[in-house]
Amino acid sequence: MPEERLDDSDDVIEAEAETSSGLETVTLARANDVLPTELPLLPVAARPFFPAQAVPLTMSAEHWAPTLQRVADSEHKILGVVLVGVERSEDATADDFYAIGTACRVHRIHHQDGQLQVLVECLQRFRLAGWLAREAPFSARVEYLPEPDGGPDSEVKAYAMAVINTIKELLPLNPLYVEELRMFLDRFGPDDPSRLADFAASLTTSSAEQLQEVLETLPLLPRMEKVLALLNTELELARAQQKIRRSVEEKMQKHQREFFLREQLKAIQKELGIAKDDRTAEIDRIEARIAELDLTEQAAKRVEEELDKLRILETGSPEYAVTRNYLDWVSLLPWGRHSTDKLDLKRARRILDRDHYGLEDVKRRILEFLAVGIHRGEIAGSIILLVGPPGVGKTSIGRSIADALGRRFYRFSVGGIRDEAEIKGHRRTYIGAMPGKFVQAMKDAGTANPVILLDEIDKIGASYHGDPASALLEVLDPEQNGDFLDHYLDLRFDLSKVLFVCTANQLDTIPGPLLDRMEVIQLSGYIAEEKLQIARKYLLPRQIERAGLEKGAVKLDTRTLRALIEGYARDAGVRRLEKQLGKIVRKVAVELLEDAEAPVAVGRDQLQGYLGSPVFRDERKLSGPGVVTGLAWTAMGGATLSIEAARTHGFNRGFKLTGQLGEVMKESAEIAYGFLVGNAERFGVDPAFFEQSFIHLHVPAGATPKDGPSAGITIASALLSLARDEPVRRIAMTGEITLTGEVFPVGGIREKLIAARRAGIKEIVLPADNRGEFDEVPEHVRKGLTVHFASRFDDLLALLFEPSTKRRGTRRGTGR
């Protein structure tokens, strides 16, 4: 639709009227002043229009072009604008129209980009009297509502003055009100209360429903009451907005003022030479650190290059932050900074005895290691590996070594590390790159010769990220770590002065090349007497102190401690023992708050009340033909292992194994069975027994996996006892058997001896080749044990059965 201008200067209708004075020409009315009773209707959803307004409208040409075309084609050019109760006027139906709207004359229509821009002049209120078209384009018959005359009513004047005063208060808060007020005064005066009320309502940002309520209120006084309420609400809203705006502006001005003052201060300080900018201050700080270090030639050259780069980079650039962080790391490392070792063997012995009870063989090995370092004048280039069950004190021994040498101590766990970058760092090209664990350890330790403890080295993993165990070779190998290269630093750093102490529960999972570079020190489990002394001297006092109780607030006598160890903490270490003591101390703390008198003595009979039923019970002494006790080694320490053999039926020959046995242990059972079948007559067994017997061999605790060759002679003894139908004496044994009856050596001798003592077995059979390991076992562990050494299975025949059944010609060796 092209732009149309609709002229309202139509001719005036003239008529002749006859008066008493004769004929004269009288002006009656303009044709356009007569409002039509049938109007096209335009729905609006935003807000209603009030008379005496000139309002621009923008609407969709697709929906409302027919309606406006009808208006343009009419003589009067008048349109009815009515508020609808929907969000979009395009969705309105006849039922959505409010009852009262405003008749408007259309002055200009402009079509652009699918939109109609229309300027309308609002003339007068009307009420819908009946529909002519209930679908778009809408049209209806209307009844016009005349505007009431204000008259001389003083109350209306008072309201009018109140409305004018409120508008005056609004004017300073929003400049737009000034322009609208000027336009109103150009057309009307302040003494026209009806127009004033409509104008005031149109100024507000009230809801469409509130404005429609004003439009529908014809009596002047109620309408002005509603308008005044809306104006007061608008005034409060404007004041709140002004307050918020003023607060924000004040803060912005304050920050801007501080920023300008700070920049001026920097400029003044720079001119006076008493301060530097951020970049210069950073560079000076790094250079001051570097001056205190003994950098290598390569490191000094790299630092100078990075400093030159830092001087030309903008402080806001990402490269500036990367370079600054790199220089921070380099300057914080202890290049050439070493602590002085305290090479005093007596002091080292005193510290080890202070921190640990027992472990005499371990202490002796550590003191020998320190003595060699004292003769050399330095302790470097060595890796100590402490291997033993959990809770025997491996980590605390590493800390004691650091105390004995007077070195810094740093510990981190490598268990579960699967990324090589954790060891050797990330390259600087990656976001969030950091050096590896060892460079971080050197930074935190502050010296180039700390004691670094690598915990759980047997649990290090491998994945697609790389092999951390292989990366450790460069770190730990004394021949390589003098020039350790971290990927982040990309500089050679000397780790040869570091004393590395590693801990592990077992050796099997440590890679061979790594294990080859370590000096292995075995820590076996504690026997009951050692645990008793450790609980009395270390664990119980420590738990009392942690609970905040007075020294000696809890008393446990020797008998009670023995019962606690045997029933609740029979494992190889002392960690479970400490937890049980902590549980007792906590319960005593409650009793002390409930008016119990200190010290509280806990007796043996009270343990079950404090700790519940015992976790460990005396091992059931299985006996009878075919039952033999073996000795086993586990990562948790030594353990006894009962082996049962039974003849299930004589229908056919067979051999069955149960008890979740590993492949090696199954092979040992097959070897033992084959050896006995082939030598049955020599051992006093009827050969027909094996021909007519289905034998079932079971190792109790079927839920626990078991493997290893050390049960070979135990299985053979159980099968021999079953075949001869004679019970075996109370004796425990360990050793690997071959098809020719040879007894081969096994490992874990100390742990197995401790397990036998724990089970109350005093007589033990070991392989003859293990005599050397037995001689290295501390005297207090061997005390009270009768140990026989066997080189062939024939040597056991004199030991297995009661004296009346012993065979001649057996060899016997006893070590006490």
Report residue 207 as tokens: 């809801």
Task: State the pairing for strand pair 763-767/743-744.
Answer: unpaired
**Does the annotation mark 710 as catalytic?**
yes
What is the three-class DSSP state of 734? coil
> Residue 756 contacts by C-beta under 8 Å, 6 or more apart in sequence?
631, 638, 640, 732, 762, 764, 785
Tally the C-alpha atoms within 13 A of residue 66's C-alpha that lie toward its C-beta: 8
What is the three-class DSSP state of 667? helix
Task: State the pairing for strand pair 786-790/763-767.
Answer: parallel
**Residue 556: left (phi > 0), alpha (psi -120 to 50), or beta?**
beta
Q: How many CB atoms lie within 10 A of CB 714?
A: 29
Tell me which residue of 297, 295, 289, 300 sits closest to 331, measured CA to CA: 289
DSSP 8-state assignment for residue 805: G
Q: Which residue in the list 363, 394, 424, 752 is annotated as catalytic?
A: 752
Q: How far apart are CA 405 and CA 412, in angstroms?
A: 20
Tell me which residue of 517, 505, 592, 610 sits closest to 556, measured CA to CA: 610
* 26 in Cβ contact with 17 (< 8 Å): yes
Q: Where are the alpha helices (DSSP H) in 619-767?
A: 663-678, 687-691, 712-724, 749-758
Token pair 């303009």: residue: 30
Report residue 655 as tokens: 């051999």
Q: How far apart are CA 777 and CA 773, in angstroms?
A: 7
> Residue 491 contacts by C-beta under 8 Å, 6 or more apart in sequence?
296, 298, 299, 302, 330, 485
Rounded to the nearest angstrom, the gap between the alpha carbon of residue 486 and the centroid of all alpha carbons in its chain is: 27
> What's the N-to-C CA distance of the chain in angstroms?
120
Q: How far apart are CA 582 and CA 535, in angstroms?
A: 11
**Does the annotation mark 583 as catalytic?**
no
Q: How far apart are CA 764 and CA 734, in angstroms?
A: 8
What is the three-class DSSP state of 328? helix
Give the CA distances from residue 13 to residues 26, 29, 35, 151, in Å, rounded to whole numbers and listed in that order.
Answer: 9, 6, 16, 31
Tell me which residue of 144, 148, 126, 164 sits closest to 220, measured CA to CA: 148
Report residue 264 as tokens: 């001026």
> Residue 322 contacts by C-beta under 8 Å, 6 or more apart in sequence?
428
* Letter string b/e over residues 496-527, b meaning 16 or more CB atoms within 10 A of that residue's CB: bbbbbbbbbbeeeebbeebbebbeebbbbbbb
Rounded to the nearest angstrom, the gap between the alpha carbon of residue 783 and the centroid of all alpha carbons in its chain is: 52
Report residue 421 as tokens: 């970058």
Give the chain's largest Cα–Cα span.
174
Burial status of residue 222 (CB atoms within 10 A of its CB: 0-12, 13-18, 19 or more): exposed
Token pair 């100590």: residue: 384
Q: Where are the alpha helices (DSSP H) in 171-219?
A: 176-187, 193-203, 208-216
Q: Which residue in the list 710, 721, 804, 806 is annotated as catalytic?
A: 710
Tally the C-alpha atoms within 13 A of residue 773's C-alpha that lie toward its C-beta: 17
Name residue 103's beta-bridge partners. Answer: 80, 124
The residues carrying an active-site annotation are 710, 752
